[in-house]
Structure formats: structure tokens, C-alpha cells
Amino acid sequence: MAVVTVDIPNYDAEWQHRYHKMILTPEQAVAKIKPGQRVFIGTGGAQPLALVRALVARHRELTDLQVLQSLTFGEAPYAIKELADHFSVNTFFVSDNIRQMVQEGYGNYTPIALSDIPRLLSSGEMPLDVALIQVTPPDIHGRCSLGISVDIVRTAAANAGLIIAQVNPRMPWTLGNSFLSILDLDILVPVDEPLVELPPGIRVRTANPTATRPAYSGSVLPPTEEPSTEPSEEVVKAIGQNLASLVEDGSTLEIGIGTIPQSVVPYLKNKRDLGIHSELVTDSIIELVESGAVTGAQKSTDRGKIVTTLAIGSRRLYDYVHRNPLFSFNPTEYVNDPVVIGQQNKMVAINTALEVDLTGQVCADSLGTRFYSGAGGQADFNQGAGRSLGGRAIIALPSTAEGGKVSRIVATLRPGAGVVTTRTAVHYVVTEYGIAYLRGKSVQERVMALITIAHPDFREQLLAKAIEYHWLHPEMADLEGRIFVGPEEVRTSTILDDGTLVRFRAMNPTDEPATRDLFYSLSQQTLYYRYMRNLEHIPRQELRNYVYIDHRTQVAIVGTIPEAHGEEIIAIGGYYLNQKTNRAEVAFIVRDDWQGRGIGTFIFKHLAAIAKRNGIAGFTAEVLTANKPMQAILDHSNMKVRRTHGDGVFHYELDF
């Protein structure tokens, strides 16, 4: 994707003379505002601070002024207790600068999906008296650009009785559906001042708190106080890598604001033909474009364009989007429309949460009864990605809060917690411990998937709660202490002669249903060769002995192929270590329709490599005389092989 920019827009050099009757100072402009009115303030880094400061300076003359806003950064001088009788704050998103006012009852929060806000404003349900916005100087055609903040600002300007525009030459001229006619504005206030910036490396706290409070003993409750620490760099990296594994070449991305959603960016640079359709972009978009990962070449709509509604970041970002034809800035009613989002093939939406319960309910806007952030665009993009062909709707969060003292995968949400994504709408949940795919899964399957990606310190407690709530069979209590996630280093893949890619990974607790399906797909001969007895069914306990393993004395890997629902297991291999002899008994099984294609040989070699790394001396195996394929693999293993025969069975010992 080539970057083409023009440094100097074709502004009307005589605009202040041409429109001098519309020009006032900040103080003169806000003098037009009357007590009791509802005033909208521009979003993000485009907050018109000169107008805001002038408005606050008039507070003695104003009472019951309602300030309406969405996500804002920087100053919010109207949001202090001492001015509560003068300015009543109502926000669609609880950002840092007003959070204390909202949580202490001096401000209001209106929960709503971003895609619904324009309709709320334009329908008259929430009438606006005044809109304080920030724009570029006009061009020779009398057009001003809304710059880095089009989102709901365009609708607010279209529906306010009085529009006061702070005209700032430092505002980038962005392209797309981002323009207003200067004749549609009422008052122009020339101001040359820096925009609010959010430099790279500054972690944005949205729905990503880790709180400080007295620890419950082994608590699996969500945090209830304000954040004090951020997830460690190791946790952020692990989440980013897990997220990147869900992004295929040619996907179109929405990446939410905050440390956790943005963690995926460093791991996307080797992807190809990614597209962007996102309510916001940050500085990270620059590295994705310059690495060649983002081209937009395979987007279903707006091909070749980075579609967004907000830019939040440093001056470098603002300069980058200035007059850049790669970017198309559009109003929220387009960017956040689930129908528009769903038109993209392979739409991947990455958002975060405060906590997720074991049934899949996602809380993203409150800490219990304390409002912390907002619904934002999560519902819009979750719904849109869910209806996209090949789409993936993802919720990502660290597994713990409060420095590891509290689990964010919880048995039940805390009273008052806001469910932004319901259990019926959740698809993927990602932590540093892995990926849980919940769409179409039963409650029992969801419970096990989420316990698996919870922090190890809390898995047993979560298991006990799930049994107590009758979400799991009582006999699952026997699994206490046996819920482990296999190591990432065993992941590998092989390409078969026909080009089919088979991926291998560690067996996980969530593989029980797929392992059962594999068993019942096998022929009686394959079952007999593997188990040395006739089997009509596999006992549940025996099945669980395959799945719930410690990955130390017992190792199991699965071979998978991609399917619409995620993946299908076509092969299983593993070994069990005899610690007295330091040898491991090895076995594997391949589904009948995949046999004879080299999968068994690959599994054996991979298991041998794992065992060698673990310091194991060699393998043993019991093989029926009739099982010639297994004998061929062992006999041609390039290891020192000893075998003895008795009762129709070969006993193998192999030295590494």
C-alpha cells in the first residue's frame, strides 16, 4: 500500500476576511450559551479545549448546563464536584477524565451502542442546543474537515441549534465523509493550539483495570476498585500472540483502544493483505502500513481504504492521516453499522472486557455497580464480525487483576456488572493462557474452555463452583488438580503430498468432545490395533484419562485440520513416562480416511523430539502382530530398536 500525502491543503487564505461576520473570540462565542441548555463537546483528541476553558470560566453565569460527550482525552475542567451545580456531565463512554465524577454520582453515563447514538441525536430523543466542535480552516470551496474526529460529531453538528466551531490550522485535513460546509456553522473561533495527543507507549485504561483492594483468600471475584497496575509485558505479549493466531491473511480488522487489543499489532507485520475497518486508529496503524501487512486489497467494501471514524495518538499519527488518500474517515453510523461490518469477508473484531463468566457473559463497562468505561463499539463489531463470512469476534483480557490476586474469568458476574456481550453472542475469548471458542458450545463445553484459559491459581476453584452450580457432572470433581494447558512449544505442522496442512498442538481439556467424535469415527480394525481389544464405546473415565494430563509424565498431541467451527481432530499421539526406567510408552492413532499419508510417522518423530527435550531415554511400545503399519514406523525409526514377540504382540524398546 503506497503512502501518498500532500503537506499543504488548499486552504482559503482569505477565510477570516471572507467570513469575518461569523468570527468571535472563545469568550464571545460561549456567551451565546444559556443556562439549562444541552451542550455537546467534540470527541477524542478533537475536543475544542479553548472553547471548553472559556465555557468553564463562565460557570458563575450558568446553572444546570448539561454537558454531553463521548470518549474524550485531556482536560475536562467542567467535571469537578465544585461545579456540579453548573455542569451536569452525561457521557456515552466513561473516560479517565470524568470517571470519578460518574462513580461518585455527580455525573451520568448513558449505556448505548455507538451505532445507535446518531439515531438518538437525529430523532430528537436527545435534542442538542449547542455543539462545540473543532475543524480545519475552510478550503476555497468553503469546506472544513472534521479532521481526526468524525464519529458522532458530524451528527451532533447536523442537529444542534447552535454550532460553535474552533477553527484550528493544526487539525489534520482528513478525507472521506468528513466535511462540513462553513455556511452550516454558526460561529467561528480561530485558535492555533496543539491537539490533545496520546503518544505511543501510553497505556490507555478502558476496560483493562487491575485493581487494588484487600484480597479475598483465593478470590475468583472481579475487581471492585480503581486500577493501580497494568498487565505485565509478558502477559501482554502472550495475549498478542494468541490474538494474531486468529488473524488470517486477507482479514479485515477492527482493533479496539487499549493495551490488550493493541497487543496484537507487533505480531501482524508478517501477515498479508490485511484491511482495516475500525472505529478508531492509533499510531500502530503506521507500522502496519509501512510493514506491508495492511493493503486492503482483499476488502469486500472500501477496497484499498483504511476506514475509520477517529484517530487517537501522537502528532506523528495526525500528520500521517493529513491529506492521506489511504484513509477514509466516516461517521459512526457507517463505520459502526453491523450490516456494513458484516459485509466484509473475514472480519476480525478485537475488543476487551473487565470480566467474563463461565457461561460466556462479557462485562465490559462496569466494575460491579461502578461504571468504568462504556459499551463503545463492542456490540456493533461483535455482531458485525459474527455475521461476516469467515469472521471472528474476539474478546481479549488478562486472566487476572490486582497483581494476580483476583481472577477475571469468574464463576458469576458480580452484582451490577454490565453485560455488553451476551452469552448468546460471544465467539472467542482470549487470555495469555490460550483461546476459548464458545460459539455454539454447550454450557459444559464453555465452562471447561474458559477454565482452561483462566489463571492456573484459580482453575480448581472455578471447577468447584461450576460443579456446585450443576453446570458440570459431579464426577468432574475428580479432575481437581488435573486441568492443564499444553505447552506452546509442541506446536508444529506438516504439509501432506496433496498440499493439505495438518497442524499439531498439545491436547487440552476442551478436546474431550472432539476426541470422543474421533473415537466413534474409527473403524473396528483401527480401534482393535490401537486398544488390542474390541470396543463398542469408550468409557468416559478412559476418555478423560487421555484429555486431562499433566504434559510432563504424560504427553498428548492432536493433529487438526481447519473446519468452519474451528478445527477437527484427525489424529492423536502421546506417551506415558515410567519414571523408574525413564522410558515412555508411545502410541498414536490416525482416522481411517487419513491413514497411509505419513501422519503417523510425523507424529512419532515429533513425540520423539519432545521426549528427547524432556530428557527421556527412549520409547517402549506394544504392537499387535497384525499391525504392520505401526511396525513399519518403529522399525524404520533410525533408532536402536529391540523387539520381542509373545502372545501375538511385539514388545518394542527404542533408544534415542
Of 335-339, 520-524, 562-566, the range with the lowest mean pLDDT is 562-566
Cα–Cα nearest to 479, from 553, 549, 538: 549
- Per DSSP bridges, beta strands 128-135 and 38-41 are parallel
At position 141, the amino acid (one-letter code) is H
- Name the DSSP class of 652: E
Does 351 have pLDDT greater than 60? yes
Q: Where are the beta strands (DSSP E) in 47-86?
A: 65-69
What pLDDT shows up at residue 214? 28
The residue written with cell numbers 523430539 in the block is 609
Q: Dihedral angle at the C-alpha atoms of 521, 523, 528, 531, nearest 10 degrees? A: -10
> What are the tens digits of pLDDT across the range 436-470?
889 988 998 899 889 989 999 999 899 999 999 99
Query: SS3 of 392, please?
Result: strand
What per-residue confidence (pLDDT) applies to 218? 33
Structural domain spans, the chain: 15-190, 233-479, 488-655
Catalytically active residues, by annotation = 279
Q: What is the pLDDT of residues 48-78, one digit of tens each?
A: 999 999 999 999 999 899 999 998 888 899 9
Q: If residue 529 lies in a helix (H) or strand (E), which one and from where to where?
A: helix 524-531
Whether the predicted pLDDT of 220 surpasses 80? no
Average pLDDT over residues 351-375: 92
CA distances from 49 to 99, 280, 310, 520, 552 (A): 19, 21, 17, 67, 59
CA-based nearest residue to 446, from 419, 473, 428: 428
pLDDT, mean of residues 33-38: 96
Render pLDDT for 474-516 as a digit per residue (tens, 0 to 9): 877 776 666 777 777 889 999 999 999 999 999 988 888 889 9
pLDDT at 482: 67
Q: What is the per-residue pLDDT for 565? A: 62
**Quick check: do 15-190 and 488-655 share a fold?**
no
Average the pLDDT over each of 83-97, 182-196, 534-548 and give the range with the smallest value: 534-548
Say how far apart CA 489 and CA 456 lie, in whole Å: 18
Domain 488-655 falls under CATH 1.10.10.10: no
Q: Is-contact 119 127, C-beta < 8 A?
A: no
Residue pair 114/92 in contact (Cβ under 8 Å)? The answer is yes
Helix (H) / strand (E) containing 30: helix 26-30
DSSP state string for 466-493? HHHTTSS-GGGGGGTT---PPPGGG-EE
Quick: pLDDT tens for 587-636: 999 999 999 999 999 999 999 999 998 889 999 999 999 999 999 999 99
- Of all residues in the chain, what percent carry a pLDDT higher than 90? 72
Residue 216 has pLDDT above 70, yes or no: no
User: Apex CA 165: angle with CA 159 and CA 168, to 5°?
Assistant: 145
DSSP reduced 3-state for 448: helix
State residue 614's pLDDT score: 87
> DSSP secondary-structure letter at 617?
-
Mean pLDDT of all residues in 27-39: 96
Separation between Cα atoms, residue 80 and residue 104, nearest integer Å: 11
Which three-class secondary structure state does DSSP give residue 70?
Answer: coil
For the segment 358-364, the average pLDDT, to the nearest whole number, is: 95
Query: By percentage, how much of the chain surpasses pLDDT 70?
Result: 93
CATH class of 15-190: alpha beta
| Nearest alpha carbon to residue 29 among 165, 230, 226, 199 | 165
Q: Which residues pair with 649 in a beta bridge?
A: 624, 646
Residue 223, burial from CB neighbour count under 10 angstroms (0-12, 13-18, 19+): buried
Model pTM score:
0.81
Q: Report CA dihedral (298, 303, 309, 312) to the nearest 10 degrees.
A: 60
* Other Cβ atoms within 10 Å of 258 Cβ, number: 19
Is domain 233-479 classified as CATH 3.40.1080.10? no
AA letter at 73 = F
The total number of residues shown for the chain amounts to 656
Angle made by CA atoms 126, 127, 131, in degrees to the nearest 5 = 115
**Contact call for residues 627 and 613 (beta carbons, < 8 A):** no
Asked whether residue 295 carries a pLDDT value surpassing 80, the answer given is yes
